[in-house]
Structure 1
Amino acid sequence: MTDVRVKICGLTRPEDVAAAASAGASYGGFVFFAKSPRHVSPEAARALALEAPVGLAKVALVVDADDAFLDEITGRVPLDMLQLHGAETPGRVAEIKARYGLPVMKAVGVGAEADLPKLDLYAGVADQILVDAKPSQDAELPGGNGLAFDWRLIQGRRWAGPWMLAGGLTPDNVGAAIRLTGARQVDVSSGVEARPGVKDAGLIRHFVEAANAAHPVPRLV
């Protein structure tokens, strides 16, 4: 068992799903957002999810999705979690949890100390929170921009439930990010890509190895 749980987001090809699982990732993410280069259709995501081995939790990333679209993807794709990456209110998060019976992770963008209260707000209603870099006002994508934030903003902070660190993580910096923040879960997308939407198996492996090296698994003597 690994000490740090890794999410490889933006999977678009069967070989990328296989690489994530083989490297020891805990989560595989499918992006349902048309503007993203990692966007997949419900049909494509279903095929990918059905090929995912047991042990790789399948996460759907959506942005301000309505019930009709959520009905479609949850009806077609065997999912383990919904990731809300838009401007969903706490009330909307609660509605989605109640309607679909799946764990819900809410992404919260952090760029300054003024953003931190939102983490506490959503931690009280979501099953997990994703602490991500806050995109610029003119950014077309709510995440996956390869941007990091000042990790010192959350140094020593903890919330009621599980949380995941995201935003500009790479095989080169994930160890430092984990050591500074104490994160036990990390999310990566563009940081393990050969080009937008296409993952690199070697980078995935190096990322998972670097994440786990930051928190060595205790030996049982």
Structure 2
Amino acid sequence: MSRLGIKICGLSTTDTLHAALKHGASHVGLMHFPKSPRHLELEALHGLATQIPAHVGRVVVMVDPDDTLVSAITAPGVVSALQLHGKESPQRVAEIAARTGLEIWKVISVKRADDIASAAAYTGAAHRILFDAKTPEGSALPGGMGVRFDWGLLAGYHGALPWALSGGLDAANVAAAIAQTGVPLVDVSSGVESAPGIKDVDKIAAFCKAVNAS
């Protein structure tokens, strides 16, 4: 069985980045969305990205970015993937993929079974689907709130694209999520924080240990 992928998302400091790398993260997520407590300005984002070794995915999370922002994020050449967490259509996702030549992750916000089914529309546009919990109505944030959905909706899931799971994961429940869904890659943000936007190196270590023991 191949090793499960681990993405630690919303990192903002060198110490927490190094903790993620030390404990075996396959991907690191950096956030550029001003409403988020994990937001990084471009200079800080690019500075952290340059510290990530080439074998680790360098994923920048954005919400409905325009072409100017996409260009600003990707111009230095230190990003390996873009995670689109807004209402981007399959056509828009395909445009960004063509414009950047990067791997594109499309987030699908899930509450019901038909949300899972909607991922099929992104076949041929995105490179990976990330199933995340739908945040409460009226929320300013599209994710990173520790909300989870019914993982049973993904039991036996076989989509056309590689996929990942996010939403309410932490060291205590990630093994159960993996067992229930068979997911190949798990993504955590608030589940390894001591406060919103503040990553905890011990929680990062515990999460990675729990995944690797699954």
The interval holding the TM-score normalised by the smaller chain is over 0.9
Q: Paired residue for 2:10?
A: 10
Instruction: Give the whole-Å Cα distance in 1 for the aligned partners of 2:77 and 2:175.
Output: 33
* Structure 1: runs of 5+ lacking an equivalent: 215-221
Instruction: Give the whole-Å Cα distance in 2 for the aligned partners of 1:54 and 1:115.
Output: 34
The answer to whether the 8 Å contact 1:45/1:77 transfers is no
Q: Paired residue for 1:204?
A: 204
Residues 94-109 of structure 1: pairs in structure 2 closer than 5 A:
94-109=94-109
Superposition deviation, residue 2 in structure 1: 6.6
Q: Flag the 1:210–1:123 CA change in 2: closer, same or farther, 3 A.
A: farther
Cα shift readout 1:158-189 (whole Å, capped 9, x = no counterpart): 11121000000000000000000000100000
Residues 1-221 of structure 1: pairs in structure 2 closer than 5 A:
3-76=3-76, 78-214=78-214
Determine helix, strand or coil for the equivalent of 1:60: strand
What amino acid sits opposite 2:33 in the alignment? F
CA RMSD of aligned residues (A): 1.3
Cα shift readout 1:25-60 (whole Å, capped 9, x = no counterpart): 001111110000000011001111111233221101
Taking structure 2 as the reference length, the TM-score comes to 0.96
Q: Percent identity?
A: 46
User: How many pairs are equivalent?
Assistant: 214
The answer to whether the 8 Å contact 1:90/1:125 transfers is yes
Taking structure 1 as the reference length, the TM-score comes to 0.93
Determine helix, strand or coil for the equivalent of 2:31: strand
Cα shift readout 1:102-128 (whole Å, capped 9, x = no counterpart): 010000011012212211212442100
Moved more, 109-118 or 83-92: 109-118
Determine helix, strand or coil for the equivalent of 1:58: strand
Cα shift readout 1:69-109 (whole Å, capped 9, x = no counterpart): 11111113610100000000000000000000001000001
Instruction: Give the whole-Å Cα distance in 2 for the aligned partners of 1:43 and 1:165.
Output: 29
